Structure 1
């Protein structure tokens, strides 16, 4: 008899969660989503980098979130590596035309941008699909700008923008009752 075997399936469930991100609808059918599965040593390194970024950017909530990343059982990153624009000339990126946006130099802070707003929407839909699947699978999770920002800022992943989703299978959801950082 095996006691508490549920943690053993988490990697498989995480891959199912990433399938939900991959198969989420994409604007104009172009898939610029990238996904990553972050295991123990990498997850601890990411948490260390989150604390380092907290000092660089004076964002104290990264320290709290780094604790959640350490306490999680696994973490996935869902990012955007943009291949272009939608050619709608909608102005949502802050430029009058797609051509004008493409002609301007990209900036990198935590993330690299600007990008076509349709690409950002695609990322949001992919992340939403992933956390919905995690909920369906009864895996506790939280969307974290902080861990995605650190992964991009320190070039840990090849993505322009990313959100992290730490995953946990414990008796109590570790992502609630977190201290405020105000």
Structure 2
């Protein structure tokens, strides 16, 4: 059997995304209370985020730029903002995000934290009940699509 590089790379990104969710779950939390939700977007849901970002002409130009980056990703790992928010929960989120991108980096999966992708996911209602959503697009490519944004 011959497996194409494209298929194996996609499967590797999905496995990295699963391990990133584990990193989020096991990241230290203030007072030991875990209030972080996480998910992985692929296919049409990921494309909806990319399209929404690229359509935001009244927002800063980097929304469109980030939409093009999300479009190049194989997956979008997700976490606009309601408030006020407890500082401990925000610190927990920062630690969990750092833990997730550390895992992706350790696995040599290109990634970048995009609040814009989270804004799109929030506007599209993709992660119900989340007050703050941050997106982490993931890709395996010869050159990271998130580097020369």
Q: Confirm or deny a common fold (TM above 0.5).
A: yes
Which is richer in strand? Answer: 1
Query: 1:165 and 2:129 equivalent?
Result: no
- Residue 31 of structure 1 and its aligned partner are, at CA, apart by 0.5
Calculate the aligned-residue CA RMSD, in Å: 1.3
Q: Which contiguous aligned blocks of 4+ residues in structure 1 show a shift greater than 4 angstroms?
A: none
- In structure 2, stretches of 5+ residues that fail to align are none
**Partners of 1:67 and 1:30 in 2: CA distance:** 36
TM-score normalised by L of structure 2: 0.91
Equivalent position of 2:104 in the other structure: 134
TM-score normalised by L of structure 1: 0.75
Match of 1:48 among 51, 56, 67: 51
**Partners of 1:165 and 1:8 in 2: CA distance:** 17
Which is richer in helix? Answer: 2
Equivalent position of 2:77 in the other structure: 76
Residue 74 of structure 1 contacts residue 168 of structure 1 at CA under 8 Å; is this kept in 2?
A: yes
**Partners of 1:151 and 1:7 in 2: CA distance:** 22
Cα pair distance change 1:170/1:157, threshold 3 Å: same
Q: How many residues align?
A: 145
- Residue 23 of structure 1 and its aligned partner are, at CA, apart by 0.6
Correspondence list, 1:114-133, <5 A? 114-133=84-103
